[in-house]
Amino acid sequence: MQSTQNLEKKYIEESGNLRDVAVIGIGETRIGELWDKSLRELGIDAGLSAIKDAGVKGEEIEKIYIGNMSAGSLINQEHIAPMIADYAGLDDVPAVRVESGGASGGMALTEGYLSVASGLHDIVVVGGAEKMTDVGDQEAKKILSSTADWEWESIFGATFDSLYAMMARYHMLTHGTTKEHLAAVSVKNHANGSLNPNAQFQKEIPLKVVLNSPTVSDPLTMFDCAPLSDGAAAVVLCSADKAESYIDEPVAILGTGMGADHMAVHDRRDLDTMKATHIAGEKAFSMAGLKPDDMDFAEVHDNYTISEIMAIEDLGFFPKGGGGPATERGDTSLHSKIPVNTSGGLKAKGQPVGAVGINQAVEAVLQLRDQAGKRQVEDAEYGLIHNLGGTGASAVVHILGRWR
């Protein structure tokens, strides 16, 4: 098996022939229980907003990529990419759905990036959409659990919640992480979400409320778990040589990386780390020629509070076991050295599963354009977005930066 260093060297060499790619347009819907909106309406609203923001014409769009976890099970509709393109008036544009569990949006962004970076296309739209609330909570959770290993985990009663609870308990036993550390993630993200007009939850929550909320799967409580939400987001990608002909402030995609691990948690080397996140982060940093200390903010996948703690450790922002204490100290708060989940994260902004990775990209672009309003990170030049699939079998990381 090749060493991580050799894999990184090979990755950099292979990415050296790619064109530079910029984000020139963004759009997203409000996130929440959107009973009055269908999946196609959400996708269309986000996509048309991004196209308008970019100033491109429909005939200039060469391909559409849409991240979606499970429309077939949630709303009985497969083949959703051409459906959304059709009803957006882009029926002659090839459209592809990308599925990778919770990382569907991030993987779609990677596919869109590669299609432009390779020279195959000049302008593509990448979206993400999910309608989670058209079925009951238990059915939605069952569908989400299918992104874990159904045959060896879910069918025997291991729920999505309980699998992450096992990771949390192991992290606590191994590194001394506490329930207060987990709760600090929730408190911080709800504080950030209170400043985001598109967030599902726009209210701060005290620490004692998080700690005293009902147990979902010990040690995780209700406020340690992200909601299941409806919503959509989209970005327009363009080759860098043409980007400034559309807008004054494009945002560069400087690095991208994907990682993988065993599907079943019981096959993992360690339960206190996400190997896929670590690999994806290393690849993205190497490609961008940057390191964790260069990042001004990060949007990481916090479907559970333990997920954020593990992510900021595995991405190199803090040593293993240091994520919880760092969060409790305020080292990841809005005006700290490395603000994490300025949008409110999945925990407060919401979790429309297939759209998460694109929602993260929208937040990164807003920060790098100085358009994030009350949650703006001062002088932000570089940001990282991290999207996780299932219980960590897949992960994707992108690094974005100001246009230079």
Those residues with Cβ within 8 angstroms of residue 300's Cβ, 6 or more apart along the chain or in another chain: 307, 308, 311, 312, 315, 340, 341, 345, 384, 385, 386
Using CA atoms, how far apart are residues 134 and 28, in angstroms rounded to an integer?
Answer: 20
- For residue 77, is it within any domain? yes
Number of domains forming the structure of the chain: 1
Domain coverage including residue 49:
16-135+228-243
pLDDT tens digits, 340-349: 999 999 999 9
Q: Is 152 contained in some domain?
A: no
- Of the candidates 239, 235, 269, which has an alpha carbon nearest to the alpha carbon of residue 362? 235
Distances from the Cα of 274 to the Cα of 76, 166, 171, 386, angstroms? 32, 13, 12, 12
Give domain status of residue 72, yes or no. Answer: yes
Longest CA pairwise span in the chain (Å): 57
What is the pTM for the complete model shown?
Answer: 0.95
Identity of the residue numbered 403: W
In a domain, 26, yes or no: yes
Is residue 55 situated within a structural domain? yes
Q: Is residue 199 part of a domain?
A: no
pLDDT (0 to 100) of residue 6: 59
Asked whether residue 338 is domain-assigned, the answer is no
Three-class SS state of 230: strand
Which CATH number belongs to the domain containing residue 90 in this structure? Answer: 3.40.47.10
* Choice among 151-165, 215-229, 243-257, 364-378 with the minimum mean pLDDT: 151-165
Residue 8 has pLDDT above 80, yes or no: no
For residue 130, is pLDDT > 50?
yes
d(CA 273, CA 292): 17
Residue 7 has pLDDT above 60, yes or no: no
Residue 314 lies in a domain: no
